[in-house]
Structure 1
Amino acid sequence: MMKKFQQSGGVDLTALSAFLAVAGQRSFRAAAAELNITPSAISHTIKALEQRLNARLFNRTTRSVSLTDAGERLAGKLRPAMASIEEAILAVDDDLGVPRGTVRINASDGAIRLVLQPVLARFLHMYPQVHLDIVSDGRLGDIVSEGFDAGIRLTEAVPKDMVAVTVTAPMRFAAVASPAYLERRGRPRLPLDLHQHDCIRFRFESGALYRWEFEKRGVSERINVDGPITLSDQPLMVEAAIDGIGIAFVPEHLAVEGLADGRLERLLYDWCPEFPGLSLYYPGHRHVPPALRALIALIHQKGPGARDG
Structure 2
Amino acid sequence: MPKPNLADLTAFASIAEHRSFRRAADALGVSRSSLSHLMRTLEGTLGVRLLHRTTRSVAPTEAGERLLKRLAPVLRDLDEALDGVSDDSGQPSGTLRINGNETAARLLLGTVVPLFLARYPQMSIDLVSEGRLIDIVEQKFDAGIRLGESVPQDMIAVRIGGDMRFVAVASPAYLAANSPPVHPDDLRQHRCIRQRLPSGKLYRWEFARHAQEITIDVPGVLTLDHSGLMVEAAIDGLGIAFVPEHVACAGLDSKKLAIVLEDWSPAIPGLCLYYPGNRHIPAGLRAFIDMIKAFIF
- TM (normalized to structure 2)? 0.72
Secondary structure (helix, strand or coil) at the match of 2:174 reads: helix
C-alpha separation in 1, matches of 2:126 and 2:212 = 42
Encode CA deviations 1:274-304: one digit per residue, 9 max, x unaligned. 1111111111232222322222233334433
- Structural RMSD (CA): 3.1
Runs of 4+ aligned residues of structure 1 deviating over 6 Å after TM superposition are: 74-77, 83-86
C-alpha separation in 1, matches of 2:236 and 2:37 = 54
Alpha carbons of structure 1 residues 135 and 71: separation in structure 2 relative to 1, 3 Å: farther
Correspondence for 1:200: 193
Number of equivalent positions: 243
Correspondence for 1:244: 237
Correspondence for 2:253: 260
Please tell me whether residue 141 in structure 1 is matched to residue 134 in structure 2: yes
Identity of aligned residues (%): 50
User: Structure 1 residue aligned with 2:93, among 94, 97, 100?
Assistant: 100
Shift of residue 97, structure 1, vs aligned partner = 5.7
Shift of residue 221, structure 1, vs aligned partner = 1.0
User: Gaps (5+ residues) in structure 1?
Assistant: 5-19, 26-45, 50-56, 58-68, 305-309
1:1-309 pair list within 5 angstroms: 24=26, 70=33, 73=36, 89-96=82-89, 98-304=91-297
Shift of residue 122, structure 1, vs aligned partner = 2.7
C-alpha separation in 2, matches of 1:75 and 1:140 = 32
Shift of residue 98, structure 1, vs aligned partner = 1.2
Alpha carbons of structure 1 residues 189 and 86: separation in structure 2 relative to 1, 3 Å: same
C-alpha separation in 1, matches of 2:140 and 2:38 = 12
C-alpha separation in 1, matches of 2:101 and 2:220 = 25
Q: Is the 8 A contact 1:97 1:290 kept in 2?
A: no
State the one-letter code of the partner of 1:203: R
Correspondence for 2:44: none
Q: Is the 8 A contact 2:111 2:296 kept in 1?
A: no
C-alpha separation in 1, matches of 2:178 and 2:294 = 44
State the one-letter code of the partner of 1:262: K
State the one-letter code of the partner of 2:146: R
Q: Is the 8 A contact 1:215 1:273 kept in 2?
A: yes
Alpha carbons of structure 1 residues 96 and 261: separation in structure 2 relative to 1, 3 Å: farther
C-alpha separation in 1, matches of 2:224 and 2:38 = 38
- TM (normalized to structure 1)? 0.69
Q: Is the 8 A contact 1:94 1:289 kept in 2?
A: no
Shift of residue 75, structure 1, vs aligned partner = 10
